[in-house]
Chain A
Amino acid sequence: MPTKNKEKEIEKLQEILKDLKTIEGIIGYILRSPNSASIDLKDPTKVIDYAILSTTAFEAGQEMSNTFEIGETETIVLEGEGIKALSMIIGDNRLSVFMENSVDHEKLCKDLNLA
């Protein structure tokens, strides 16, 4: 993808993420691009825990995709007690959104895929 398009893609994604934070139940997100990372979490003390979890989810998710031969990983949903995380690859970007279990992550996924 040409650099200009990539920049536009990130800009659009960041716009969506700005709106995302206003949705009830969204706790925050971690976005990793090839050259940068942006983190926005309501509770800053969780940054390290969530960043490690996000990275591990992408790695283990791809491992499992290989094991079961289901192709490239599109999304990973981790559900915990009260909190869940949606991780997805959008172009060159790896995004993890943390939210309360009540949030409709499938709708969120559709919105983000439009970025």
Chain B
Amino acid sequence: MSKDVYAVALKSALTEIEKICPDVSCSFIFTKDGTIVAGDSEANEEKMEKTVRSFQSIAEKAEGIGGLQALLINGEKGNVHLSRINGMYLTLATSKNADTTLLHSVTRVIFPTLLKLLENVTPTPLHQAPSKQLIVDTLSGFFVGDSVQIDLEILGQWSQLLNRKSLDEVEIETFSGKIAKCNVKEINDPKLKGKGIIRMPEKVCKTLEVQNGELVKVKPTQLEET
């Protein structure tokens, strides 16, 4: 789920909360660094920015009480509640005699649950498998094919990290910046296992302009994010 979708989901949630809490006249949510994530239709930009500025001026000085977790302002004609929820701050402007029990349910139960839910439905970003520096070992002959060969141990580590059953393709980058994608297999010569080499067909070596004994960076190709 992208940031935009996340913000739209939060905005819808704020609107729904206002439906069950008619005492709430305006609501929005922002992060500690002041980024406004979402707001209802009543929360215009000027209002939100002013609030964030005022809030930050207090938050900066609240270390003496262990950091600001919540702020409540009782005015003559209404109240403003700011509550820290999962690292974000929910702002609710309410009428003077708003139902505090219902508000507590919103800030302490409904919204934290909602945020957790949204975080869970947001797919985690793909892990970046670290690239390995391997020494080129040229493969020649009629039957070498197009695939490069790497230690099974390295392929296993990458598969585990990327949560993939097997790896079929790697990206090879030379130190001069040339890049090529190749099919990959495990090294089949037992004498060459565990030596930190990549066995590359001559054709690939030519494409990448590398020679026997040179170092190249190798990493598995990433699947496209869906």
User: Interface on A for B, CB 8 Å cutoff?
Assistant: 46, 49-50, 52-53, 56-57, 59-61, 63-65, 67-85, 98
CB pair B68 A67 closer than 8 Å:
no
Main secondary structure of the interface of B (DSSP, over half): mixed
Q: In whole angstroms, how far apart are the Cα atoms of A63 and B58 in the complex?
A: 11
CB pair B66 A70 closer than 8 Å:
no
Contact digits for B35-77, partner A, Cβ 8 Å, 1 yes 0 no? 0000000000001001101110110011111111111111111
Q: Which residues of A contact B51 (CB under 8 A)?
A: 64, 67-68
CB pair A80 B69 closer than 8 Å:
yes
Q: How far is the CB of B34 from chain A (nearest CB, A)?
A: 14
Given contacts A68-B93, A71-B75, could you give 17 more A-B pairs where the C-beta distance is less than 8 Å? Answer: A53-B61, A56-B58, A60-B54, A63-B50, A63-B53, A63-B54, A65-B75, A68-B78, A69-B77, A69-B78, A70-B76, A71-B78, A73-B74, A80-B67, A80-B68, A81-B65, A81-B67
Q: How far is the CB of A113 from chain B (nearest CB, A)?
A: 11
Q: List 15 A-B contacts (CB under 8 A).
A: A49-B61, A60-B55, A68-B26, A68-B75, A68-B78, A68-B80, A70-B76, A71-B78, A72-B76, A74-B75, A76-B72, A80-B68, A80-B69, A83-B65, A84-B65
CB pair B65 A70 closer than 8 Å:
no
Q: Which residues of B contact A77 (CB under 8 A)?
A: 70-72, 74
**Total contacts A-B at CB 8 Å:** 110
B79 interface residue per 8 A CB criterion: yes
Q: How far is the CB of A103 from chain B (nearest CB, A)?
A: 13
Q: How far is the CB of B58 from chain A (nearest CB, A)?
A: 5
Q: Which residues of A contact B50 (CB under 8 A)?
A: 63-64, 67
Q: In whole angstroms, how far apart are the Cα atoms of A98 and B77 in the complex?
A: 25
**Residue in B closest to A70 when the chains form the complex, CB atoms:** B75
Chain B residues numbered 131-151 whose CB sits less than 8 Å from any CB in chain A? none
